[in-house]
Chain A
């Protein structure tokens, strides 16, 4: 099976061809199988991330033919092209810098204090959002995230993304969160630029959380004059 892999170093950017050798008869390799073999056979210091090989740790996201996919779960086919996430600055080869996204909410998002209110509550909505593995596939074509300075590896991000909105929305469905926590969370959503969501068709989650229905729409509803745009309404 022939594939193309992106090589990005300090001095070059290239698309390299690679012929994957099947390891067992009838094998349907995933992206990670290709990366492991490519590193061992052809490019010994190829940079890529992986962790659990089981769709849980969320670190191996790359783009396959321009779409974000988990390398450990996505099957590849003849002629596929594997490139780094286009939504974050590249450090080397397939590795992108994730720190500006992961740090965006630190000391900004209020944290619900104490326990006890959730013992007798229905926590289904909360737990539905916890399926997030932080693979950052949702950054793809996000109009909020696109406003950030994505060429600078050290820049902080002023604008949000579906992942940060998911964590904000989780506060709003947390039985332990006070009204004050919820108000502050909503304000943060506004500060991060959630208004951009009104004109957006919506985002896609890497593990199948319905971001439009369970995150974006409930947040937009809570905003002042928060009737969502008609075009968004139609999506549901």
Chain B
């Protein structure tokens, strides 16, 4: 005897079962994001622990000698003196710093122009055009930096009497800077438009010109937000891989000179994992230790940057 639909209990209806299953699917899908994060953290940590069982943690973090090619197996003992990552950190810092020196002024001035001077129609044209810069694949930038920018900078340098290395930090840095101009520009644009209009109106009302309003009122008010934005841009620069793999140096060199070839954390990760080595040796495991460092640094920059930007926006709400 079949039950009349009206007498069915809700819990027994097929519809409820199916809806429950679909909902479980939805929850599972969003849980994948967490799973990925957990996967990243665990895989990095597990392999890093294996690496640090062979190499001392302090040697890695504070050593200034990076020569992974010259690792020799000393039966069971710890390897020392070849995995000092300081030159990589310095190289990464140097190239990212150059990139921010390029992206900062260009990005900030573009944002000021777009938000304060360009009309709606110009803005609707220029903003997507700038975004193209962020959409160009990094392997293209890398090729461009290595084939076009680097030789030109080298030629310019020798004309001025400087000795520029073939894979100078400056060429990778400049191209990377251009790549993150749209990022800086859109964050600064956001930040500037969060400044209350009353501040702007006050300045204009007192007879300030537009540029005076921007320089004396808007920029000081937006400064914390801009600083947060630069932190986000820095995180992007630090994690960038292809441009530096193709246009920066491969050998580690502890130098702050932008005209010399330096190497970066990401370059060494690629180098460690693209050879034919055994997967279990310290030479390849070091990639995960470097990856973990990179992950921690970019995560810190991002969290901090977002926190500053959001706090700043809330302050004016």
| Chain A complexes with chain B | no
